[in-house]
Amino acid sequence: MSQLDVRIINRSDNPLPTYATEGAAGMDIRAYMQNSITIRPMERYLVPTGLFIELPPGYEAQVRPRSGLAIKHGITCLNSPGTIDSDYRGEIRVILINLSGVDQTIHAGDRIAQLVVQKVEQVMWKESETIDETARNAGGFGHTGKK
């Protein structure tokens, strides 16, 4: 597996994001707050992480939900996956929403999301009057599933 060096500033007292296993695609990122927060049902909260990164051009970082928070507590990320562009230098913050029916508490240091770094390509549009047809063609949502 290849490795990419990325500069990071950690202003929190949490450890740097790490991969939990050798085959993991995402690194857990943690909440950086003075006090715990309670998120009521259907309420959103922007959670700081204290992390700032410098991605090289041609890469993005995606902020994704953690499956454990989703299934056990009904907490997920909005705007998912959230994209961190290579030219963004602000703090990484995570938009959490409580989809459960009860209040949920996030504590300082809790693992709140995953961070996945990926290579991306920028496109150059070529305007055209036609595009190639395929077997699927204009078939959209659910087109390849049960009938």
Question: How buried is 102 (Cβ within 10 angstroms: 0-12 exposed, 13-18 middle, 19+ buried)?
Answer: exposed
Q: What is the pLDDT of residues 50-62, one digit of tens each?
A: 999 999 999 999 9
Tell me whether residue 137 is in a domain.
no
Q: What is the pLDDT of residues 109-133, one digit of tens each?
A: 999 999 999 999 999 999 999 999 8
Question: How buried is 97 (Cβ within 10 angstroms: 0-12 exposed, 13-18 middle, 19+ buried)?
Answer: buried
pLDDT value of residue 136: 76
CATH code, domain carrying 82: 2.70.40.10
Tell me whether residue 114 is in a domain.
yes
Residue ranges of the chain whose pLDDT lies below 50: none
pLDDT value of residue 138: 79
Write phi, then psi, for 53 (nearest 5 degrees). Answer: -125, 155
Query: Does the predicted TM-score (pTM) go above 0.85?
Result: yes
| Structural domain boundaries enclosing 42 | 7-119
Tell me whether residue 1 is in a domain.
no
Domain total of the chain: 1
Tell me whether residue 145 is in a domain.
no
